[in-house]
Structures are given as C-alpha cells and as structure tokens.
Chain A
Amino acid sequence: MLALVVAGVLLLRWVPRYGWFPLGLTLLTAATALAITAGQARRYRRSARGIRVGRIEADVVGVLGTTAAVALLGALALVVVVALPLR
C-alpha cells in the first residue's frame, strides 16, 4: 500500500512535463491504496480465522486484482513516456 502511494506521488513530478494525465495515474494509485487499506481489517480477520481453523481460501480476487492494477499502472506510465508529447 505504501509502495503504491510512493509510486503515485513520484508520478506527480511528471505533471509539469506531460500535463494532467499523470495526475490521473496518481489518483488511480491513491484509489488502489485506499481500497487495499479499507480491506486490511477484513483480510486480517480472515487470515487469523483461517489459521485458527486450519483452513483458508486463497484470495484469488485480491491477488489478481492487485496484479491487474500494477500492470495497468505500468502500461499507462509507458504510454506517458512513449506517446505523450513533452510540454
């Protein structure tokens, strides 16, 4: 979550150079970090309960969602570097 925030804040440095599109990326990372934070307590309870009863379901949605979010962020950052004109 903190790594996402750091990456998102660094993207702000691109705003003077590439316009407002990087700001959208920062908002995307902030939204993802917020969603992760909001689910932290639920995930902790689920993990603790799973350890107690000796059985836990793999978090397919969480893992694949995080993968998709980071891959999308990387792809959009590539678009900024390769396709957007410098201001």
Chain B
Amino acid sequence: MRSSRDEPSEHAPETAGAPAIEGASPPGRRGWSARILGGGTEPDPRFTLANERTFLAWIRTALALLAGGVAVEAFTSDTFASPVRTALAVVLLLLAMVLAVAAGVRWLAVERAMRRQAPLPLSILVPVLAGGGALVAAAFLVVVLGNA
C-alpha cells in the first residue's frame, strides 16, 4: 500500500524519497547552519516542528516574565517600596533573559540529539523556572504580609 507521501507529485521537491545519508547536509543548507546542527540525519519533520513549537512556548513564557517585570516596576509604586520593586523587577527580567537563552540552547541540544538518534537531553529550563518563580512568589508574599 502506497502512502500519499510515496505518490509522485508535481510539487514534490528534489529531496522527496531521497535516502538519508549519515553526516550529510541536505541540499541548500548553508555550511555554518550545518556546523551548528552538528551533522547527523534529518529527523522526522514532525519532531523538528514539535521541537520548534516547544521552543516557541518557552519564548512566550520568557516574554510573559519580561512583561511581568515591566509591570511590577511600572504599576506597583503604591504597593512596594522602590528598592523592593526594583529587586523584583530585576529578578523577573533576569529570569526572562535566562529562559530565552536556555530555550535556544535546549532547542539546539534536542535538534542535535534527534539528528544522531541519541537520547533527548534533560532540560535545565524546568528547575530554573520553578526556582525563579518560587523565589519571586515568596518575595511577594513576604512583602505583602509585611505590609498587612
């Protein structure tokens, strides 16, 4: 039984049905891009796209933290003293930066692992986000209870 993937198509590109060659880059991939990905074979496209979606989810989280940092600095002048407000904003903005960079690093590590059929690496993002979120929440709690 032939799948739709096997059927010839007028839109089928030059790579359709091409065998994966270990260590080879697909046609058209630039040298530096191939170097960053570190060789191997292209994984199933659904996995590549899933990796990109996960990266985008982490980037959204980083942007939410960034917006949170901006909001704390901009809107809480009646609630927190200036040093506390600045410290909370700095922690949130630092967390956003770390998450953004770690999301890119994680995407690359997962992409490389998939191209080599190696086990997926553990992500540092989860403990960083959990620890940072808990730290900021605890600081908020202490300040709010202290003001009460």
CB distance from B132 to the nearest CB of A (A): 13
The answer, yes or no, to whether A74 is at the interface (CB within 8 Å) is yes
CB distance from B140 to the nearest CB of A (A): 17
A58 to B48, CA, bound (A): 6
The answer, yes or no, to whether A52 is at the interface (CB within 8 Å) is yes
The answer, yes or no, to whether A71 is at the interface (CB within 8 Å) is yes
A60 to B55, CA, bound (A): 12
B66 touches A73 (CB 8 A): yes
Contact with A along B27-59 (1 / 0, CB 8 A): 011000100110000101110110110011001
Contacts of A63 in B (CB 8 A): 52, 55, 104, 107-108
Contacts of A53 in B (CB 8 A): 5, 12-13, 15-17
**Could you tell me the dominant secondary structure of chain B's interface residues?**
helix
Q: Scan residues 51-96 of chain B and give those whose CB is less than 8 A from a CB of chain A.
A: 51-52, 55-56, 59-60, 62-64, 66-67, 69-71, 73-75, 86, 89-90, 93-94, 96
The answer, yes or no, to whether A34 is at the interface (CB within 8 Å) is no
The answer, yes or no, to whether A50 is at the interface (CB within 8 Å) is yes
B26 touches A55 (CB 8 A): yes
Give the contacting residue for A10; candidates B12, B70, B96; CB below 8 A. B70
B75 touches A13 (CB 8 A): yes
- Known contacts A52-B5, A54-B44; A78/B59 CB under 8 A: no
- Pick the most buried of A3, A17, A50, A57: most chain B CB atoms within 10 A of its CB: A57
Q: A6-B67, A66-B104 are in contact. List 20 more A-B contacts (CB 8 A).
A: A4-B63, A13-B74, A13-B75, A17-B74, A51-B45, A52-B9, A53-B12, A53-B13, A55-B18, A57-B29, A57-B42, A58-B51, A66-B56, A67-B59, A67-B103, A70-B62, A70-B66, A74-B62, A74-B96, A82-B90
Chain B residues close to A by CB (< 8 Å): 4-5, 9, 11-13, 15-18, 26, 28-29, 33, 36-37, 42, 44-46, 48-49, 51-52, 55-56, 59-60, 62-64, 66-67, 69-71, 73-75, 86, 89-90, 93-94, 96-97, 100-101, 103-104, 107-108, 111
